[in-house]
Amino acid sequence: DTEVTQTPKHLVMGMTNKKSLKCEQHMGHRAMYWYKQKAKKPPELMFVYSYEKLSINESVPSRFSPECPNSSLLNLHLHALQPEDSALYLCASSHEPTGTNEKLFFGSGTQLSVL
Amino acid sequence: QQQVKQSPQSLIVQKGGISIINCAYENTAFDYFPWYQQFPGKGPALLIAIRPDVSEKKEGRFTISFNKSAKQFSLHIMDSQPGDSATYFCAPLGSNYQLIWGAGTKLIIKP
C-alpha cells in the first residue's frame, strides 16, 4: 500500500463551525506533513510531525490545530476559519523526516471552502 | 537564501515535441533536486530527482539536466504526450530539510 488517504475530499464550512480533516498512511512512514495549496500556487508547508511529535509549525494561526494520534494517522482540526482559508489541504508522508529519504507521498487533498 | 525561480509559468507543446522547464536556485547548500507532477484534483507526485554529483539523470521520457556552476536544473520531457499535461514543480531540499517549491509550470500538450 503506497497511498496516503485523505477524508473528506470536499468540505464546506461556516466561519463558526468546527471540523476536522483526516489523513492516513500505512507505509510505515515516520514523518507526516500538512500543506495548504491555493489555486495556481505551490504547496505551502504548515506542519511537520516527526515520530508523532510536532517538529515544525510554520507560524500557522491557532485556528488550525494539528494532531497525530499515532504513526499512521494525522488530523487537522479547524475552528473559526476565515474565507481566505479556503484552499486545497494536502497531507503527505515520508519515510524519514530528514535526509535519508526525501520523497514525499501526497494524498489527493481536501478541497475546503469557508463561507 | 532559499529562493527558487521556475520558468516558464506556462507552456504549450505539440504532441511528440520536447517540453523544457527550468529552475534556478540561489542556495548552494541544496543537495537534492526533485521535480513533482500534479494533475488537477490530485496531490503532487515525485516524478524524477537528481543529486548534484551527476549532471544528468534519465528515466524513460523524462530527463533532469543539472548545472551546478550556473545553479540551474531543468526537466526535459521527450515525445510529449497529452497525458503529460499537468503542473510541474521544482522543489529542491532546503537547509531545514524541507522542500522549497518553485511557482509551478502549467504544461499543455496539444494533440
DSSP assignments along A13-37, one per residue: E-TT-EEEEEEEE-S--SEEEEEEE
Decide: B24 and B67 in contact? Cβ < 8 Å.
Answer: no
- Kindly tell me if the per-residue pLDDT of A76 is higher than 70: yes
Q: Sheet containing A73-79: give its strands across.
A: A4-7, A18-25, A73-79, A64-70
Q: List chain B residues with CB under 8 Å of A59.
A: none
Which of A44, A103, A109 is opposite residue B46, by nearest beta carbon?
A: A103
- Kindly tell me if the per-residue pLDDT of B2 is higher than 90: no
Number of Cβ atoms within 10 Å of the Cβ of A85: 18
pLDDT at A96: 80
Alpha-carbon gap, residue A32 to A75, rounded angstroms: 10
Task: Please name the amino acid found at residue A60.
Answer: V
Interface residue of A38, A106, A110 to substitute, partner B, most B CBs within 10 Å = A106
Q: List chain B residues with CB under 8 Å of A99.
A: 97
Rg (CA), chain A: 13
- Kindly tell me if the per-residue pLDDT of B1 is higher than 60: no
SS3 A83: helix
**From the CA of A90, how many Å to the nearest CA of chain B?**
7
Interface residue of B47, B48, B96, B98 to substitute, partner A, most A CBs within 10 Å = B98
pLDDT at A98: 65
Q: Which residues pair with A25 in a beta bridge?
A: A4
Pick the residue from chain A with its C-alpha nearest to B106: A40
Pick the residue from chain B with its C-alpha nearest to A48: B98
Per-residue model confidence as pLDDT tens digits over A32-49: 999 999 999 999 999 999
* A103 at interface of B, judged by CB pairs closer than 8 A: yes
Per-residue model confidence as pLDDT tens digits over A82-102: 999 999 999 999 988 765 557
Alpha-carbon gap, residue A97 to B38, rounded angstroms: 22
Alpha-carbon gap, residue B83 to B61, rounded angstroms: 13
Per-residue model confidence as pLDDT tens digits over B63-98: 999 999 999 999 999 999 999 999 999 999 887 778
Angle, alpha carbons B64-B67-B73 (nearest 5°): 40
Element (H, E) at B104: none
A68: pLDDT confidence band, cut at 50, 70 and 90?
A: very high
Match 494533440 to its residue by C-alpha cell.
B111
SS3 B84: helix
pLDDT at A73: 97
Per-residue model confidence as pLDDT tens digits over B16-69: 999 999 999 988 788 899 999 999 999 999 999 998 889 999 999 999 999 999
Q: Quick one: what percent of chain B has pLDDT higher than 70?
A: 98
Alpha-carbon gap, residue B5 to B86, rounded angstroms: 19
Say whether A92 and B43 touch across the interface (CB within 8 A). Answer: yes
Which of B43, B97, B104 is opposite residue A106, by nearest beta carbon?
A: B43
Nearest to B20 by CA among B11, B28, B32, B29: B11
Nearest to B44 by CA among A8, A33, A47, A71: A33
pLDDT at A99: 57
